[in-house]
Amino acid sequence: MSESHRFPVAAPQAVPADQAAVRRGNLGRVLRLLRDAGPRSRARIAQETGLNKATVSSLVAELADRGLVTDGEVDRGGAVGRPGLPVHLDGTGVCGIGVELNVDYVAILVLDLGGEVRFEHRVALDVPALGAERTLDEVARLVGEAATAAGAAVPVGITVAVPGLVRSVDGVVPDAPNLGWHDVAVLDGLVARLGPGCPVRVENDANLSAIAEWAMGPEARTPDLVYLTGEVGVGGGLVVDGRLLRGTAGFSGEVGHTPLGDPAVVCGCGRRGCWETVVGLGALLRAAADPDDPVHDSGRDLETRLAELAARADAGDRRTLDALAAVGTGLGTGAAVLINLVNPQVVLLGGYFAVLGRFLLEPMTAELRERVFAADLAGARVVLSTLGFTAAVRGGAHVALEQVLDDPTLVPAPEPIPADPPIRTETSA
C-alpha cells in the first residue's frame, strides 16, 4: 500500500452515505498516523490529515476513551485539550496473533498495537505426520498459551500462515503439498476449537512474510519488493507499486513450482523439475549430508541444524560448500526470472536463505549478472531478511491488527459510570 492509499485525502464537501462509517474511518486515520509517524500534537494531526481541529480533538478524545491513545492533558470539563501537547499511541491494550504452520514446526507471535512483541514461541513438530486435526489442536493450545502470556493486551485477531495455496475468502487450504494437506478447512477448524470470540483468517506464508518486510523490516515501504522464503518449500511474495500482488484467486507467488529444475527430479507437488527441488531445504540437505546425518532430523530445531551446516561450511567442508554453492546458483536462476519480470528494487531472502545467506549471495549474484537482461540487475539489490523465521508470524500479527486501524471502534470503550447510585431501600427485620 502506498502512503496515498493509507492516508486517503478526504473529500469534506461530499455528503457521506454513513456518518458513522466516516467517523470510524477518521478514527483509523488518526490512529494509523500516530502508529506510523509517532506522537504529534492535535494541530499537527489536523494539518497532516486535512481534518479540522475540532474534529481531531473529538477523535482523540474517543481514541483515549477506548484506551488506544494517551493524552493526559484533555480537559474533561471543557471542549478541547491543550493543542500543543503530543498525543501518543497506546498500543498496550490490543494485540494481534500470528501463527505459522510449516513442515517441521509451528510458530506463534503476539504483537501489540505499538509494535512490541509480547510473546514468541516455536515448537518443533512433524506436521505432515501429525495430520491436520491434531496440528490444529496444537495451534489452538498455543493460541491459548499466547493469549494468557499477552496479559492485558486483548487479541483482536489471529492470522494463520500456511505454506501452500490458501483461499482467503473461506480459509480453506486447497493444496499444501509439503504438509500433505488437501482441502483442509483451517479457518473453520480453528473457530470450532477457539470459539467465535476472535476473528481468524488464513493466508499464504510467503505473502504474510512479504507484508511483514514491507511493514516493519529494514526495507519497509519499498514499493517494488520480491520476497523469497526458503523452507522445505520455496515461496514468493511480490509487492508491486506498494501493493501485495494477490492475483485473481489469491494464489500468486508460487515460485517454488516454476519449472527451472532437473526434469528428472520429482517435487513434493508431484510435478517434475520444480525450482524447489533445486533450492528448497530438502535439496540442500540431500546434497550436503547422507540420509542418516542428524541435520536431516526434523525433530530437531531447524536453526540448530542450520547452525551445524554453517559450522561445517566455515570449517571448509567441501561437500557442504558445494551444496551451498549449488543452491546459490539455483537461487540466481530463479531470482533472475523474477527480476526480469517485476523489476524490483529489492529481492529479500528469508527463511533458511537468510540464515545461510553469507554462503549463498556470491554464487547467486554471479548467476544474476549472467541472467538479468538489464545492466546492474535492473537496479535490484539482494538483501538478507533480518526478520528471519519470524517474518510470517509478524506479518500475520500485523494483518490481524489492521482491522483495529481500519475501525478503532472494534475496541470497546469502558461502560459509562452510572450518574446516580441505585437507591437502597432499608427493610426492617
| Residues at the contact surface with Zn ion, assessed by CB under 5 A | 257, 267, 269, 271, 274
Degrees, nearest 5: CA angle 173-244-163: 30
Is 210 or 269 the residue whose CB approaches Zn ion more closely? 269
d(CA 227, CA 210): 6
Closest distance to Zn ion from the beta carbon of 235 (Å): 11
Percentage helix, strand, coil, to 5, in the chain?
A: 45, 20, 35
Closest distance to Zn ion from the beta carbon of 290 (Å): 25
d(CA 141, CA 159): 15
Is 173 or 372 the residue whose CB approaches Zn ion more closely? 173
Closest distance to Zn ion from the beta carbon of 269 (Å): 3
Closest distance to Zn ion from the beta carbon of 164 (Å): 11
Is 122 or 257 the residue whose CB approaches Zn ion more closely? 257
Closest distance to Zn ion from the beta carbon of 233 (Å): 8
Is 265 or 413 the residue whose CB approaches Zn ion more closely? 265
Degrees, nearest 5: CA angle 305-311-314: 145
Is 112 or 205 the residue whose CB approaches Zn ion more closely? 205
Closest distance to Zn ion from the beta carbon of 277 (Å): 7
Are 354 and 388 in contact by the 8 Å Cβ rule? The answer is yes
d(CA 107, CA 125): 10
Among 302, 294, 309, 363, CA closest to 331: 363
The identity of residue 309, as a single letter, is L
Is 194 or 267 the residue whose CB approaches Zn ion more closely? 267
Closest distance to Zn ion from the beta carbon of 351 (Å): 17
Is 46 or 267 the residue whose CB approaches Zn ion more closely? 267
d(CA 29, CA 36): 10
Decide: helix, strand or coil at residue 27: helix
Is 232 or 269 the residue whose CB approaches Zn ion more closely? 269
Burial class (CB in 10 A: 0-12, 13-18, 19+), 257: buried
Are 91 and 113 in contact by the 8 Å Cβ rule? The answer is yes
Is 6 or 271 the residue whose CB approaches Zn ion more closely? 271
The identity of residue 299, as a single letter, is G
Burial class (CB in 10 A: 0-12, 13-18, 19+), 69: buried
Spatial neighbors of 39 by CB under 8 A, at least 6 apart, are: 86, 87, 88, 89
Closest distance to Zn ion from the beta carbon of 334 (Å): 13
> Does an H or E element contain 167, and which?
strand 165-167
List phi, psi (to 5°) of 293: -70, 140
Closest distance to Zn ion from the beta carbon of 279 (Å): 12
